[in-house]
Chains A and B, each alone.
Chain A
Amino acid sequence: MSGGVDSSVAAALLVERGYDVIGMMMRLWSEDCGTGGSNRCCTPDQLLDARRIADQLGIPFYVIDTQDVFRRTIVQFFIDRYAAGDTPNPCLECNRHIRFEWLLNHALAMDADFLATGHYARTQYGAGGRVRLLKGLDDAKDQSYVLSVLSQDKLRHALFPVGDYTKPDVRRMAEKLALPVAQKHDSQDLCFLADGDYRRFLAEHAPEAIRPGPILTRDGRQLGEHTGLPHYTIGQRKGLGISYHEALYVLTTDPAKNALIVGTQDELGHRGLIAGRVNWIAGDTPLEPFRADVKIRYKARPAAARVSPLPDGRVRVTFDERLNAITPGQGAVFYDGDECLGGGIITRVDDDAR
């Protein structure tokens, strides 16, 4: 329970369905812990909100100190990957290592059968006891992307009570239950940033990840200087600070040279990608290439593609059409309609696509 609308309603729904519910909050590491800042994951406000809601629902509530492990795994990972030139997605890692590992173990140790969260996603039990992960009913809110890292073992213990509802439904339920959070804003930013500004965060916590360097064309001509690779996103046009006779876009980075590679619009975009650390939700690696819709960012639209498992465990994804924003470090998540089949972490673009 975060003190927000979704996890509060999730808890309320479970109570209503007759589960014996225990509320838990993770106190995560964050920059301004203990200073009364506005950060959402550990402020006493959020804590008191969650505790009040738990009491209103008649369930116990405990705060688990997750600061050390969160800092060591998630925050350090975030810093390291940026330093290596990637654009990491810490939410994927948090679900992999913190929520559905650390917190789930905690819950199981307390004799719980399930760990429920406020994610917009659904599970469905299929033949042979296999659990399928489905998108949340509210397409605009669907969070199956960040749950694509879960295995059968984890999903068997997972409940996503709000996944069957739309966000407006969830707000209405919160209002009906007179939960004091019905009107709270959605939280968007990374939970451990004091102000939502990851650039400032990196400048303070990992200055070595932000070094000025050259802006180069594909063929190595220097056009200017960049202020640090984490300041740019692939596909970006504005704010490069160079004048050129054509519009220029960020094509990619070259971390070894600390260079930002730019080019014209027709150089932008790739037909494919390679992803590693692949998780298959069903458990088995598919033997044959298959067609799927693939999301390359949490908020990206699914794009039609062919997914080919490689012998080394990675996958090659070949899109029907070029995509402009394939970004190493982000997840590539595979869907068959509403069903999330799994995903991997993008390691590089791939233009050898066949």
Chain B
Amino acid sequence: MNTQLVYLDHSASTPLDPRVLDAMLPYFSEHYGNSLAVHSFGRQAERAVEDARDTVARVMNCHRHEIVFTSGGTESDNLALRGPVQYALTQGQPITLITTPVEHKAVAVTARQLRDTAGAALRVVPVDEHGRVSADDLRAALQNLPSGGLALVSLIHSNNEIGTRNPIPELAAIAHEYGAIVHTDAVQAPGHGPLDVSALDVDLLSLSSHKFYGPKGAGVLVVRNGIDFLTSHSGAKHEDYRRGGTHNVPGIVGTAAALELAMNTWPETAPRLAALRDRLVEGIMDRVPDTRLTGHPADRLPGHASFAFAHLDGNTLLMLLDQSGIAASSGSACKVGDPRPSPVLEAIGLGPEWTRGGLRLTLGHSTTGADISAVLDVLPKKIRAARQMPPSISV
């Protein structure tokens, strides 16, 4: 077995930046107070949390009160949908959720659950062949909203599976015309470009720290001032009653440190990743027959390459790549024992010969030109082998 490991799954998770770790370390065993406590230990913890809030608000260009620290992307997505819906329920308002077929499960499953449990009407806006929502389709989905109700549009900012970015400011403006509020799942975005809450013009925005060299189990939900919100994560007065639970102080400190680094460094790191990524995409398109690049060819995450290979089981390919020391993914890290075709690939119009054959290669800070060469060397052989083999399941 090859022992030289090549990690190309940065969209699934990234390593913790050593600088972030340094910032977090004192908050595990030295400054361990509960941020709500009256004493000096409590004050120390509280200051760390509030400093972190300032940092996050500053780099995201929003107000500090708009920052809610959570346990990660999934929780942020849950709160983003459930908070406004719960509020609307208390007011007896009709609820309409509008989303896309290419959302992460954290949004997709939550929306379906709210349809079933909260009586929300669920509208799904189609996406184009690159996985983008068009202004016209969004407008069509916003017609005939019940008056005096909640309409919440949730649109993925940057797609985890196929890398495509949505034109969020343009779409948010349209939604606002119709009186809807807008959430965007921006979990994949930090470190790959600007991320300015005011410029995006959204009302709710989700982040997950482990996607940008921060810690796992920590994230952010931005809730713009003036948005009606009744939390589904109730408890004490943490986060101004929007998310109960003792603060994960090291996680919050790490989130702020990592987000600041991501915002400061992307102008340098993103072009390097995009150049490596382009070499990877060209190399694969040249070497492997019956291949398509999935997602937008240009407006996509810089470190993100994704493909569909005809007549191939993506999970078999992942297994063969793992055997050669290449860590890749079929698109979403959450497919326990599930050999079904990718709903995202189906939504962008690919036929059954393609939809099981997804591969996602996502680059990160540690990725080198040698890694790309190694993949270009190994991948065509493994694809040939996988096309001869029965399907397997990723876990």
Contacts and interface: CB of A to CB of B under 8 A. Distances in A.
Interface of A: 20, 22, 27, 42, 44, 47, 51, 60-67, 69, 102, 105-106, 109-111
B395 A61 contact: yes
11 contacts: A47-B336, A62-B392, A62-B393, A64-B392, A65-B393, A66-B390, A69-B390, A102-B390, A106-B390, A110-B323, A111-B323
A20 B336 contact: no
Interface in B339-395: 339, 385, 388-395
A306 B21 CA distance: 75
B393 A27 contact: yes
A65 B322 CA distance: 17
Contacts of B313: 65
Given A60-B322, A65-B339, A109-B388, A20 B1 contact: yes
Interface of B: 1, 313, 315, 319-320, 322-323, 336-337, 339, 385, 388-395
Nearest to B338: A34
A65 B323 contact: no
A47 B385 contact: no
B390 A64 contact: yes
B337 A63 contact: yes
A65 B341 CA distance: 13
Given A42-B337, A47-B336, A60-B323, A65 B1 contact: no
Of residues B315, B339, B391, B395, which shows the largest number of chain A Cβ atoms within 10 Å of its Cβ?
B395
A64 B388 CA distance: 14
Given A20-B1, A60-B322, A110-B320, A44 B337 contact: yes
Given A22-B323, A47-B395, A65 B389 contact: no
B7 to A, nearest CB: 15
Given A42-B337, A62-B319, A109 B389 contact: yes
Nearest to A20: B1
A25 to B, nearest CB: 9
Contacts of A63: 337, 392-395
A10 to B, nearest CB: 20
A230 B322 CA distance: 46
Nearest to A62: B319
A69 to B, nearest CB: 7
A63 B391 CA distance: 9
B385 A109 contact: yes
A61 B392 CA distance: 11
A27 to B, nearest CB: 6
Contacts of A109: 385, 388-389
B315 A65 contact: yes
A102 B336 CA distance: 22
B395 A51 contact: yes
Contacts of B391: 64-65
A298 B287 CA distance: 52
A-B pairs with lowest CB-CB distance, top 3: A63-B393, A62-B319, A64-B392
Contacts of A110: 319-320, 323
Contacts of B388: 109
Contacts of A64: 390-393
A44 B395 CA distance: 10
A65 B320 contact: no
A145 B390 CA distance: 28
A67 B313 CA distance: 14
Contacts of A60: 319, 322-323
Contacts of A65: 313, 315, 339, 390-393
A325 B391 CA distance: 41
Nearest to B386: A109
A66 B337 CA distance: 12
B315 to A, nearest CB: 7
Contacts of A61: 395
A27 B322 contact: no
B389 A106 contact: yes
Contacts of B323: 22, 60, 110-111
Given A64-B393, A65-B393, A110-B319, 12 more contacts: A27-B337, A44-B336, A44-B337, A60-B323, A62-B392, A62-B393, A63-B337, A63-B393, A66-B390, A102-B390, A106-B389, A109-B385
A350 B388 CA distance: 46
Nearest to A27: B393
Contacts of B393: 27, 62-65
